[in-house]
Structure 1
């Protein structure tokens, strides 16, 4: 029986976000931040919280510690309508945490991986794949167990007629050892940003990177920040869609994850790729109007209100 529209599989941590930092920190010196926020972090969790707020029935599979941060992660997901019954609690490892030094539209992060690094395909209840229409994975370079088992997860999803999406995210080691030629044929929607895509394909330009992955993809949507997004398919011309510009950005933490949420929310409802791309661009922009990755996503009414007032758009999320 299908219980979920989407199940997110991946990393879980809290974000300690410091905003309004007066200057770049230096070793042996101290600087002040004007604002601090402790909130639900991790790309996969932000995606899950925000797509649930958009109206998709969402579940989460991830590993956390039996600690204060773990309780915050679980309660934050529950508060946003995400089913947490599939969370895996570790007696051995602590929950992960990221300190975000936020500078307007860019940031520097320091992450303690904790339990997220140790989850594998073996830890996942395989009945998950019979209860959902779609599975989303993210941040594979932070999760050595999931990265090792990525192809097995994708193939198992394909065998169970479950569609998949993958956002690779940044590789902190900057090794970018993802075998995209083998992996991407099993990914229904590949969701890198332009920098990640160039690194994964070892390309000097975005055009070169696109040409390298095009023979292997089903569908790829490349996030390009303030320049919008590019939708790429096999043997078709790219669809380039301008961004919805917010000139009063609070921060851009989670903007890519919010794009993913909007795109996948539309995709699982059978809307066209172009409609899904428009929704993704808009939800990514909405994200930048408040602090943190989930701050703007508290209710459908609030999200629609921001879309109308900030961007003069009607957000179609029914």
Structure 2
């Protein structure tokens, strides 16, 4: 297995028109979750990925499992809960450049993941374990599940890649959020923060200064997302490298771009690329994801990614 990831995915309802959600009358049903987005992105690029989670024994859970399995992701360690529902969330495209998200995930099946439901063989032997700061925010049992996954990964030589993915709506206490996110970063080999997330954790500063704060916390490799400006690679005792982003004429849906970036970086590392080339692939994946409505719908297959990165994609394929 190339990459194993653990976390909640929810049924996503997207209104078919822009404006305040209160005026929406029709919706499209999709699925979204940081970890499954990464798993799907990797699978579309030809890598072997596994997503571990817990779903309700309901129609949403059935549909989600079929969708993610259909994307070629291994779901053999997904468990079901007959007493708790699959989580739901809504997107709101209020106006241009103003997208909002509303979660209905309290007491969801995924929030009741427990360490005893995570067998060692689910992670042992994988090249990378991908985790996010969302999972430990869901519940103490999710936190213990993630802690066990980290122990298994370290014992088996699996590298840990951590995306903070800070969701303040899930943390009742911001100081606790900082503490836990920093702790998980310190246990990881590679951290993929956004610039605003780094500022939340460490205060104001340049991207370079904030990357150094992660190193002080014990992180070896930082690849920081800078939005349309690209990304910054930082490794102790080496010059920092800025990797340019890709131009996007119109952002349709920014949600999921960070997950696409993570999938691109992991794909590059799996292919043996340098950190710079892996970050460039991540930048391209993130850009492509913003051009399509939906969390995972804009994730490309390898041939489309290559066309985009070469700049040779045409407006019309004839």
**TM-score, normalised via structure 1 length:** 0.86
Residue equivalent to 2:204: 204
Q: Is the 8 A contact 1:244 1:311 kept in 2?
A: no
Residue equivalent to 1:21: 18
> Is 1:46 paired with 2:47?
no
Residue equivalent to 1:315: none
Q: Is the 8 A contact 2:244 2:280 kept in 1?
A: no
> Is 1:83 paired with 2:74?
yes
Residue equivalent to 1:213: 214
User: How does 1:1-318 map onto structure 2 within 5 Å?
Assistant: 4-18=1-15, 20-22=17-19, 24=20, 30-32=22-24, 36-102=27-93, 103-113=95-105, 114-138=108-132, 139-144=134-139, 145-171=141-167, 172=169, 173=171, 175=174, 176-179=177-180, 182-201=183-202, 203-207=203-207, 208-215=209-216, 216-297=218-299, 299-308=301-310
Q: Cα RMSD between the aligned structures?
A: 2.3
Secondary structure of 2:223 counterpart: strand
Number of residues of Structure 1 aligned to a counterpart in Structure 2: 302
Looking at structure 2, the residues matched to 105 and 277 of structure 1 have their Cα atoms a distance apart, in angstroms, of: 25
Secondary structure of 1:261 counterpart: helix
Looking at structure 1, the residues matched to 183 and 137 of structure 2 have their Cα atoms a distance apart, in angstroms, of: 20
Secondary structure of 2:265 counterpart: helix
Looking at structure 1, the residues matched to 273 and 54 of structure 2 have their Cα atoms a distance apart, in angstroms, of: 32
CA distance 1:94–1:135, change in 2 (3 Å): same
**Structure 1 residues 157-177: Cα deviation after superposition (integer angstroms, max 9, x where no partner):** 111111111112123236123
Deviation at 1:14, TM superposition (A): 1.7
CA distance 1:179–1:298, change in 2 (3 Å): closer
Secondary structure of 2:40 counterpart: helix
Looking at structure 1, the residues matched to 241 and 135 of structure 2 have their Cα atoms a distance apart, in angstroms, of: 27
**Structure 1 residues 243-268: Cα deviation after superposition (integer angstroms, max 9, x where no partner):** 10111222112111000001001112
Q: Is the 8 A contact 1:155 1:186 kept in 2?
A: no
Uncovered stretches (5+) of structure 2, i.e. residues with no partner = none
Q: Which is further off, 258-267 or 125-134?
A: 125-134
Looking at structure 2, the residues matched to 181 and 60 of structure 1 have their Cα atoms a distance apart, in angstroms, of: 24
**TM-score, normalised via structure 2 length:** 0.86
Secondary structure of 1:214 counterpart: helix
